[in-house]
Amino acid sequence: MPHKITLTGSAIGPLREYDRYVAFDMREKGSPSAPKGLKKSTFISYTVFVAKKAFNKTGLTKKSIMHEKVLIQGEPTLDIPIDECPGEVGVICFQITVLPNKNDKEKNESEAKKEPKQEASTSPEAPEKTESNKQEEEQTPVSKPVAKEDKKAETVQSEVKETPVHEKKTEPQKKQMQNQPKGTQDVLSFDDIIVPEEFLKTRPNPEKTQKVIDFVKRTGRLDEPLTIEKDSKVLKDGYRRYVVAKTVKMAKVPVVYEYQK
């Protein structure tokens, strides 16, 4: 069986491009301790060879490869010329994965801690509702003696009782629209949206997609509404936000309508 090797870290040199693949150098430190009688291992340098197609899928660039932490899984090789493989060991990469930075994790954790506080700050709406209920209770006893004297007063009283019910029904809808991005015309079920095949064949930039995911985790909503054809519910624009909504499992998404010409 061929040997397997796994590396983690960032490139220590510039990205080199060839005909069908790219290459960059990495370095890993050996174990801090060794069995008695054996010398400790020092740094080992590696030259990683990645197919261009696989490298482009990661969204990495010549600049970002020097700063992003990656996970390499592949096989060691000694059959590559030394001018292309300056590292002590060459590695044929079968899979490359960009790992999240520690700073991003800390930001997400701090934002997750702030969200419960924001939810608690919205709770003062409850006292307002209780005050309105008290006002309604104070008004109802006054109308009772009038109802005995005249039937017309009963109709007026019934209208007064019905209006607060309509107001209570409309309040949740306004709050839902207020929590949506600017320009939102409606909120649709995620499953009702139809995605054309031309979108499904593309893959949004991972870095930009991660930024939108972080925004949703921080605010609880998308940064912009999706553009949907009014009658057919076909997605016209905003495929990245559609992918984000699917990733974070949003039941409903904000939309703006585009009418058929």
Whether 89 and 10 map to the same domain: the answer is yes
pLDDT value of position 127: 47
Q: Is residue 252 part of a domain?
A: yes
Residue where a domain terminates, one of 174, 200, 229 = 174
Interval 54-68 mean pLDDT: 88
Residue 119 above 60 pLDDT?
Answer: no
Whether 20 and 90 map to the same domain: the answer is yes
Residue where a domain terminates, one of 174, 203, 221 = 174
Whether 91 and 26 map to the same domain: the answer is yes
Highest mean pLDDT among 110-124, 219-233, 247-261 belongs to 219-233
Interval 155-179 mean pLDDT: 52
Whether 207 and 254 map to the same domain: the answer is yes
pLDDT value of position 150: 52
Whether 113 and 55 map to the same domain: the answer is no
pLDDT value of position 174: 47
Q: For the segment 193-234, what is each residue's pLDDT rounded down to a tens digit?
A: 999 888 888 888 989 999 999 998 888 889 899 999 988 889
Interval 50-77 mean pLDDT: 90
pLDDT value of position 91: 93
Whether 91 and 129 map to the same domain: the answer is no
Give the list of residues 6+ apart from residue 32 with CB closer than 8 angstroms, or none. 40
Domain CATH number, residue 81: 2.40.50.1040
Q: Is residue 181 part of a domain?
A: no
Whether 168 and 233 map to the same domain: the answer is no
Residue 212 near residue 224, CB atoms below 8 Å: no
Whether 113 and 94 map to the same domain: the answer is no
Domain CATH number, residue 247: 3.90.1530.10
Whether 80 and 160 map to the same domain: the answer is no
Interval 38-42 mean pLDDT: 77
Interval 140-167 mean pLDDT: 50
b/e string for 72-100 if b means 16 or more Cβ within 10 A?
bebeebeeeeeeebebebbbbbeebebee
Query: What residues make up the domain containing 120?
Result: 105-174
Residue 184 above 80 pLDDT?
Answer: yes
pLDDT above 90 coverage of the chain, percent: 20
pTM higher than 0.85: no
Mean pLDDT over each residue of the chain, to the nearest integer: 77
Q: Is residue 180 part of a domain?
A: no
Q: Is residue 93 part of a domain?
A: yes
How many structural domains is the chain composed of? Answer: 3
Residue 231 near residue 258, CB atoms below 8 Å: no
b/e string for 172-187 if b means 16 or more Cβ within 10 A?
eeeeeeeebbeebeeb
Whether 95 and 109 map to the same domain: the answer is no
pLDDT band at 136 (very low <50, low <70, confident <90, very high): low
Whether 247 and 196 map to the same domain: the answer is yes
Residue where a domain terminates, one of 82, 99, 116 = 99
- Residues forming a β-bridge with 26: 46
Whether 157 and 196 map to the same domain: the answer is no
pLDDT value of position 160: 47
Q: Is residue 179 part of a domain?
A: no
pLDDT value of position 157: 56
